[in-house]
Amino acid sequence: MATGDSCTPIYQLPYPTGASNPCDYDETSCAFAEAVEAQLDALDDIVARTAGTVPFAYGMSFAAQLYDNNFPGSFILTMDTTLSDTDNMIDLSFDNSVITFQTPGVYSIFWSVEMTAPVGAASIGINPSVFNTSGSGISGNTAYFSDDLPTSPSMPLKTNGARLTNVCATGEFIIDVGTGYTVRSDLVTAGTLGIISTIHEYRLGALWLRESL
Choose among 117, 121, 57: nearest CA to 90: 57
Give CA–CA dist 2/161, Å, rounded.
77
Give the range of the structural domain holding residue 194, as residue numbers without chain letter: 56-210
Domain identity same for 43 and 90: no
- Per DSSP, the residues of the chain read --TT-EE-TTT--EE--TTS-GGGHHHHHHHHHHHHHHHHHHHHHHHHHHTT---EEEEEE-S-EEEETTSSSPEEP---EEEEESSS---TTT-TT-EE-SS-EEEEEEEEEEEE--TTEEEEEEEEEEE-TTS-B-TT---EEEESPPPGGGSPBPTTSPBPPSEEEEEEEEEEE-TT-EEEEEEEEEESTT-EEEEEEEEEEEEEEES--
What is the count of structural domains for the chain?
2
The answer to whether residue 130 is domain-embedded is yes
Domain identity same for 115 and 174: yes
Give CA–CA dist 127/171, Å, rounded.
10
Please state the separation of Cα 100 from the chain's center in Å.
Answer: 10
The answer to whether residue 92 is domain-embedded is yes
Domain identity same for 45 and 62: no
Domain identity same for 89 and 119: yes
Domain identity same for 41 and 140: no
The answer to whether residue 24 is domain-embedded is yes
The answer to whether residue 159 is domain-embedded is yes
The answer to whether residue 21 is domain-embedded is yes
As to burial, measured by CB atoms within 10 angstroms (0-12 exposed, 13-18 middle, 19+ buried), residue 125 is middle
The answer to whether residue 191 is domain-embedded is yes
The answer to whether residue 200 is domain-embedded is yes
pLDDT at 48: 66
Paired with 51 in beta bridges are none
The answer to whether residue 1 is domain-embedded is no
- Residue 194 belongs to domain with CATH number: 2.60.120.40
Q: What is the pLDDT of residues 61-118, one digit of tens each?
A: 989 999 999 987 889 999 999 999 999 999 999 999 999 999 999 999 999 999 988 8
Mean pLDDT by 10 residues, the chain (213 residues): 78 79 77 83 69 88 93 91 96 97 95 88 87 87 69 76 81 93 93 91 95 85
pLDDT at 51: 59
- Identify whether the C-beta of residue 208 lies closer than 8 Å to the C-beta of residue 53: no
Please state the separation of Cα 180 from the chain's center in Å.
Answer: 13
Domain identity same for 23 and 114: no
Domain identity same for 42 and 83: no
Domain identity same for 89 and 180: yes
pLDDT at 133: 95
Q: How many residues does the chain have?
A: 213
The model's pTM is 0.74
Domain identity same for 200 and 155: yes
Domain identity same for 112 and 16: no
Domain identity same for 92 and 169: yes
